[in-house]
Amino acid sequence: MEKNEKELWMNYAYVISSTVRKKIILSLSEKPLTPTQIAEETSLNLSQVSRNLKKLSEKKLVECLNPDEKKGRLYHLLEEGEWVEQKIDE
């Protein structure tokens, strides 16, 4: 297994080991959303969503489209995040 593929599977394991992270990834599969929209859609606490979005960003699974905004930050899946989302859906 090449390094990149191993990293993808490690990220997959990281996401599915947490119901919160899994819900966030799945909620971003259709379109970019704000943390508030994700929280409403998934019935999660906003603080849980924000904390996990930060971790998912560090792992290069999601990205904030407008990081300079204080309110209304939009998050979307990056390529690796899309790969993880597809594996969850399989």
d(CA 25, CA 78): 10
* pLDDT for the residue 1: 58
The full set of domains in the chain, from first to last, is 3-89 (1.10.10.10)
Could you report the per-residue pLDDT of 28-58, keeping only the tens digit for each? 999 999 999 999 999 999 999 999 999 999 9
For 69, counting Cβ atoms within 10 Å of its Cβ (0-12 exposed, 13-18 middle, 19+ buried), the class is exposed
Predicted TM-score (pTM) of this structure: 0.93
Separation of alpha carbons 43 and 37, rounded Å: 10
Coil vs helix vs strand at 8: helix
